[in-house]
């Protein structure tokens, strides 16, 4: 059966966290979640036992869990490839460490299923969010989002929280325009969506930093700065053109 929501969990060398956290997500979706859902484990270039564990999870729960393998790394690459092929009404993703409290999932996807919004993002920087993380990562996050506001004039509050959802028709329109295949993918998608006049719904989340986070802060920051430069100049010089996106504003789905 075609699901209303497809949740991608991008992973690379995550054999220690994959099984318990996917099982936790699956249990949450079964325990009265009011939308039909599918979990896609998207292994992008793992060199440990992650892919074998992902296949095991899919084989043991084929009605809810599937696994796909990409040879090359990159969270953006995994999301781009899986979202492009999805048959769901709404495509979403979350980090495998489940840093975001799962109770935010329904507020994230409900406005998209109802047709109220086009994209939805979890935010750790808006009023009502509760965040537990070190001061260094908190400062870097706030500085990055401030830089986006100053350079690209964005209005969304948190570009990089690993908890997002997009209407599938919106994804099919925007994904061919998104060039980045790594960590800047999220930011680029949101910038293009905002420039296209799409509605971005924000959900303040409860978020706890993972002690096993694999994010390389310096390399990620440099990549993001290059992405801001590329997108900013592309928009300024007219090389990056965002088409007007015309969508059916009537309700496309309902919570079941």
Question: Tokens 């310096």 identify what position?
Answer: 218
Residue 243 pLDDT more than 80? Answer: no
Tens digits of residue pLDDT in 197-229: 999 999 999 999 876 555 667 778 888 899 999
Report the candidate in 81, 67, 109, 132 with the shortest Cα–Cα distance to residue 253. Answer: 109
Residue 251 pLDDT more than 70? Answer: no
β-strands 37-44, 130-132: how paired?
unpaired
Predicted local distance difference test score (pLDDT) of residue 236? 78
Catalytic annotation present for 63: no
Tens digits of residue pLDDT in 129-180: 999 988 888 898 899 999 999 999 999 999 999 999 999 999 999 999 999 9
Distance (Å, whole) CA 28 – CA 39: 12
Tens digits of residue pLDDT in 41-86: 999 999 999 999 999 999 999 999 999 999 999 999 999 999 999 9
Sign of CA dihedral 126, 28, 13, 135: positive
Predicted local distance difference test score (pLDDT) of residue 137? 85
Residue 109 pLDDT more than 60? Answer: yes
The answer to whether residues 182 and 208 touch, using CB atoms and an 8 Å cutoff, is no
Q: What is the pTM of this model?
A: 0.91
Q: Which H helix or E strand runs over 68?
A: strand 65-70
Residue 90 pLDDT more than 90? Answer: yes
Predicted local distance difference test score (pLDDT) of residue 246? 58
The first and second tokens of residue 50, run together, are 């992650």
Indicate which residue of 89, 180, 186, 224 is catalytic. Answer: 186
Residue 239 pLDDT more than 90? Answer: no
Q: In what order do the strands lie in the sheet with 65-70?
A: 65-70, 37-44, 5-11, 90-94, 163-167, 119-123, 200-204
Residue 99 pLDDT more than 90? Answer: yes
What does the pLDDT average to over 233-237?
A: 82
Predicted local distance difference test score (pLDDT) of residue 218? 75
Predicted local distance difference test score (pLDDT) of residue 210? 75
Predicted local distance difference test score (pLDDT) of residue 255? 64
The first and second tokens of residue 98, run together, are 């489940």
All domains of the chain in start order, with CATH: 5-236 (3.90.550.10)
Tell me the C-alpha to C-alpha distance, in Å, between residue 93 and each of 9, 13, 47, 119, 229.
6, 18, 22, 12, 26
């Amino acid at each position: 059966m075609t699901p209303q929501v497809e949740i991608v969990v991008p992973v690379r060398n995550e054999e220690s966290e994959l099984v318990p956290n996917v099982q936790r997500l699956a249990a949450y979706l079964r325990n009265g979640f009011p939308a039909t859902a599918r979990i896609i484990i998207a292994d992008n270039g793992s060199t440990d036992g992650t892919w074998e564990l992902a296949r095991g999870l899919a084989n043991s729960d084929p009605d809810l869990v599937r696994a796909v393998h990409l040879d090359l790394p990159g969270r953006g690459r995994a999301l781009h490839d899986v979202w492009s092929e999805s048959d769901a009404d709404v495509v979403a993703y979350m980090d495998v460490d489940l840093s975001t409290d799962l109770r935010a999932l329904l507020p994230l996807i409900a406005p998209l299923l109802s047709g109220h919004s086009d994209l939805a993002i979890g935010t750790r920087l808006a009023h009502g969010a509760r965040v537990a993380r070190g001061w260094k990562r908190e400062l870097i996050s706030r500085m990055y989002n401030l830089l986006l506001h100053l350079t690209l004039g964005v209005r969304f509050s948190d570009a990089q929280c690993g908890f997002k959802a997009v209407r599938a028709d919106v994804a099919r329109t925007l994904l061919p325009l998104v060039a980045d295949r790594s960590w800047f993918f999220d930011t680029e998608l949101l910038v293009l969506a905002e420039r296209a006049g799409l509605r971005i719904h924000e959900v303040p989340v409860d978020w706890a930093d993972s002690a096993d986070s694999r994010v390389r802060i310096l390399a990620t920051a440099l990549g993001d700065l290059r992405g801001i430069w590329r997108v900013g100049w592309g928009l300024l010089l007219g090389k990056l053109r965002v088409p007007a996106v015309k969508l059916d504003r009537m309700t496309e789905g309902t919570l079941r």
